[in-house]
Amino acid sequence: MSQNFLTISAKNTRDEIALLLTFGQEPCDISARCNRRSSPHTDLTMRDLSNNNLGTSSRRDFVKGSLGLAVVSSAAFATPSAEAAPQTPTVRTAAGEGPVITRFIPKTKEAIPAIGLGTFMTFDVEPGGKRDHLLEVTRRFWEAGGRVIDTSPLYGMAEVNVGHFASKLGITDQTFVSNKVWATGDYLGDASQGERSLELSLDRLWRAQIDLMQCHSLVNVDVMVPLTKAWKKEGKIKYLGVTHYETPYFAPLADWVEKGDLDFVQVHYSIHTRQAEERILQAAADQGTAVSINMPLEKARLHKIVEGRPLPDFAKELDIQTWSAFFLKWVISNPLVTIALPATTNPEHLDENMAALRGPLPDKEMRQRMVRHMETIPGFDKLAQMPWYPDKKFDGVISHAQKALRSRA
């Protein structure tokens, strides 16, 4: 079943409805996608906050004048109730109290929280598998002030689960969906696979519009970027961009940023992997391109290196209580970074990640001190040689497909 779902054509409407119902979606006219046209978050939960005069701590002053760091109340990212007027949103804050650190998307000044949620491997659960813990991860993410969820058709069942959880929580049109397209074509210039990928993503996510669509790992980029421009013009997506996670591809990634017509670039950046500082981050700042960060926790490798170690005493100066907050605050304190996208399957770890969304951020000197501290820890210099997700196992269509292929090779 899972293999058929991953390859199903968007034209097979009746079969799609049956599959969507399998995952708890409510039936509606797929072609119209419940007549959704504009997402409420565009006008309310992600509204332009650039005119707000909101204070920051002294350790954030160096960020304040750069690409639009703001610290806003959790209520600014509220879920409007059925009775509430658009001007009076409310939000549950059980998972976090105090102002949320946000950034502005340079080209529109739309505000988004500086910590999002990644879904690679973590949200890939085969049909029939246990996923209540992932629903809880999504619920806590939302309650803590998170809004941006990053996914991809390449991530197995992740899109299906993101769409299901958002529907179940009643936040489908209020999440900011960061998605990707990985498509080639049957011949040079063929965009049909990309078109089918978009239609399938819209159906899986139960959306009429994708907030952000990116050319995944620069695959077929010469066709996909023009195609995403067409989608943006047609109102199918709001923003477009390109992504990569491997450092050898940072030069061509920077080339695309420097052309100046991208809304976003997604790149690998962490306290360990800092090569994006050499060109990509500055190019994005020069061109008014938002920067989203993949692998900010190095796919659990940073946590493995510090396993059993206490935080340095100076972490108290930033109200940092976990290694997750230590690593994530280092990333989002770079004024050229818009948002970091950590992933997890563990609700408790989600809480730790979202703690980085509040409180003071390190200044330039503190960031350097944090790097120096990590450089004293054995194994930090060998992180790139470690396998992804040490000591973790995933039970999804990706891991099963990879295992099957290895058995045949």
User: What is the rounded CA–CA span in Å between residue 42 and residue 48?
Assistant: 9
Question: Once rounded to an integer, what is the mean pLDDT over residues 341-351?
Answer: 98
E-state strands within 262-403:
264-268, 290-294, 339-340
Look at residue 353 and tell me whether its pLDDT is greater than 80. Answer: yes
Question: Once rounded to an integer, what is the mean pLDDT over residues 309-318?
Answer: 97
Query: Which domains, from first to last, does the chain contain?
Result: 37-408 (3.20.20.100)
pLDDT of residue 348: 98
Q: Provide the CA 177 distance to its chain's centre, in angstroms.
A: 8
Question: Once rounded to an integer, what is the mean pLDDT over residues 37-54?
Answer: 34
Q: Which residues pair with 241 in a beta bridge?
A: 214, 264
What's the mean per-residue pLDDT of the chain? 83
pLDDT of residue 75: 47
User: What is the rounded CA–CA span in Å between residue 236 and residue 341?
Assistant: 23
Identify the band that residue 25 occupies on the pLDDT scale cut at 50, 70 and 90: very low
Nearest to 250 by CA among 297, 212, 294: 294
**For the segment 96-149, what is each residue's pLDDT rounded down to a tens digit?**
578 999 999 999 999 999 999 999 999 999 889 999 999 999 999 999 999 999
What the block records as the tokens of 307 is 């396993």
pLDDT of residue 98: 82
DSSP, res 359: S
Instruction: Say if strands 110-113 and 100-105 run parallel, antiparallel, or are unpaired.
Output: antiparallel
pTM for the model stands at: 0.81
What the block records as the tokens of 158 is 């992740």
pLDDT of residue 63: 34
Note whether 210 and 198 are within 8 A (CB).
yes
pLDDT of residue 346: 97
